[in-house]
Chain A
Amino acid sequence: MSAAATRCGIEWSFGLSETMILAENLGKQYRRGTSGGPTTLRDTLGRWLALGGSTAHPHLGGTEAFWALRNVSFEVKRGEVLGIIGANGSGKSTLLKILSRITRPTEGTAHLRGRIASLLEVGTGFHPQLTGRENIFLNGAIIGMSRAEVAGKFDEIVEFSGVEKFIETPVKHYSSGMYTRLAFSVSAHLDSEIMLVDEVLAVGDLAFQRRCMERMAKAREEGRTILFVSHGLASVNKLCSRAILLENGICTHIGTSQDVTGQYAAEASIAAEATRTPEPVVELPAPEDPVPAYGLGLAIADSGGTPRVSFEVGEPWEASFDFEVAERVPNLIAGVGLATPDGIPIATIWSAPTDTPPGRYRFTANFDLPLASGTFSLQVGLSAGDASLYLRNDVASFSVIPSTRFVQVHLDKGAGILYSTKVPEIVALGTAAVHAG
């Protein structure tokens, strides 16, 4: 890529007066077997006895060490927005966990100047039995606000959340939207020098995601320092001045966000072609916890019912979502959503609410949209009225390839997500005027 995308560690300066975050050689080691959850004493004793009383075998008994993050160094100046990108499991969350002090690094150090607010923790500590008012104080205290601070901002927080009428009601009676708004409002009112934002956690609720983005843009204008973890390369480009790319726990690129996202996109597309072949028929894993309704599978097919993953521009296609209803659901609504590979929703089709007895069902969504060439992703969901029962993003993907077999349109790369068949004539407005100055 461009020469501006420097390898990690080279681009480096110590202007501590303006440095808000300085991370030096951060590393985090986990042991497989322990990081997957707590063990029991019974297991550990059993293993210890099996090894003849020796615990000094790191490679026996499934305690293989691996580095989730290694040698990560970077510096963030005051007012800068640094994007962190990388595939799942590349160490982004581990890095955020270390910087927000939820866990500690195995090696290396980091220095942060000032208070840290993180939008990872929206609603942390909310208790369903407590009222809105009580939860504001509790949550405020947990994220590091003093009681006086919360009291001073109380009216503002309540107004921003828009739940004034229900502030003395236990939050278990809130709708999920009210709950999220209140929780977000508390987090948004923490004055901090540094903000940590993980966009992944905002996916699924578009309104909430937009609020996060607005809040972040405002914080940026106020000159706050922001660390922004995202999958969406477009939002990184839009919001961040610089970015770092993590791959397998190692920081492989650091530079302007354009250069780093470009680098990532190029590598990701190579990797995707090598590894991921889209399947037209996808089986959905059964949910771990019992739920009243859940998805079984999703199939993408052409109008003749043949499963396919690639369509020509303008060719009709449809998505069939199979699901199982385990117990009677009043007002069951099935939905299939269409999104870009970045996760930006394009359209959603919902079924009409129906009182649904247990059984297996199919919901076929025919989008009938003028999709231009590109890759698209599908998501599925089930809900009972307003309450979501089941939601899976990026279940299947398919591509639309350029062709003029179905529609006669002018298709250039970068023309957009949708095409239009309109070809208006250009109308002459008269001779060109010569502008002064």
Chain B
Amino acid sequence: MTENEIPVIEIRPPRAFEPLNLREIWRARGTLYFLAMRDIKVRYRQTILGIIWAVLQPLVTMLIMTVVFSKIAQVKTGGTPYPLFAFTALLPWQLFASCLARISQSVVSDQALVTKVYFPRLILPMAAVVAGTADFCFGFLVLLGIMAWYHYVPGPAILAIPLVMLLAMVSSFAIGTWIAALNTRFRDFGLLVPLITQVWLFLTPIAYPLSLVRAHAPPWLFFLYNCNPVALVVEAARWIILGLGHPLLYPSLTAIALVSLLLVSSAYYYRKHADLFADFV
């Protein structure tokens, strides 16, 4: 190695506006890969049990929803079997919710790393999102099973499912990264996550169809309701998998703009505080 090839590392105080340094993150992709693999391996180490846990939660939630919303409350889903209707939405919802939970805790749960070794800190929430996709993959197999049970043949649109996943992951990353950064300063921010998730579940058309909200809410509230990025995720999943109505254009664009804004702001906020995490965790 010649003198010129050796990189010079500059250490200086944090600036008011810290660049994201995406090139450095790209160079550290190996770390991201192994951290994500660690989470996945540890989760599925006892193979059978690990997979069962991954699919049990959406399955049980689906069963409860079927009993409460379909059998008792008599919610109409326009011809689609209710279990299939609910599970199609629960799957991306679960991806969003579990990624959100993992990301929010990512810095705190890996504090042994954060206090002892340097790597670009944005790797932590990124690895959490990647690890979160494993559950989705197993859940997707269950969805195919349920579809087969009801003799439902999906169209080619189902191939767009990675886009739905991406939107769910980006949304959880945008929100979770804010929480992860705040969680290092104020430890009770992490406690908010289950509460946020619980409220969010019911503000999203998962257990009930969107038409029910349209029938009861004034137009402005209905518009606002559809600006929820997870509502877009869920509606898009039903659209491409079950062939139900497509998401509304303007609320969807608003939701995407909202997520983009959150994504950029969270990345910068996180970056600005990331290198001082070790002083707080």
Contacts and interface: CB of A to CB of B under 8 A. Distances in A.
Interface of A: 17, 30, 34-35, 37-42, 44, 97-116, 118, 120-121, 124-125, 127, 129-130, 134, 137-138, 141-144, 146-147, 193
B2 to A, nearest CB: 12
A142 B11 contact: no
B11 to A, nearest CB: 4
Contacts of A134: 37-38, 41
Given A138-B34, A141-B33, A109 B113 contact: no
A35 B12 contact: no
Interface in B164-212: 182, 184-189
9 contacts: A98-B11, A101-B11, A101-B118, A103-B276, A109-B12, A112-B9, A113-B8, A114-B7, A142-B119
Interface of B: 3, 6-14, 30-31, 33-35, 37-38, 41-42, 45, 110, 112-119, 182, 184-189, 275-276, 278-281
Contact of A40 (B12, B41, B187, B275): B187
A193 B281 CA distance: 30
Given A38-B281, A97-B278, A44 B10 contact: no
A39 B33 contact: no
A17 B6 CA distance: 11
Contacts of B38: 125, 127, 130, 134, 138
A293 to B, nearest CB: 26
A106 B37 CA distance: 35
A112 B8 contact: yes
A100 B118 contact: yes
Contact of A102 (B13, B41, B110, B115): B115
Given A99-B11, A112-B11, A114-B6, A142 B186 contact: no
Contacts of B116: 102, 120-121, 124
A113 B118 contact: no
Given A99-B11, A104-B14, A146-B30, A40 B188 contact: yes
Contacts of A100: 117-118
B186 to A, nearest CB: 4
B51 to A, nearest CB: 16
A38 B119 contact: no
Contacts of A141: 30-31, 33-35
A58 B185 CA distance: 17
Given A40-B187, A40-B188, A125-B112, 6 more contacts: A39-B187, A103-B276, A103-B278, A104-B12, A134-B37, A141-B33
A372 B33 CA distance: 58
A63 B184 CA distance: 17
Contacts of B35: 125, 138, 141-142
A130 to B, nearest CB: 6
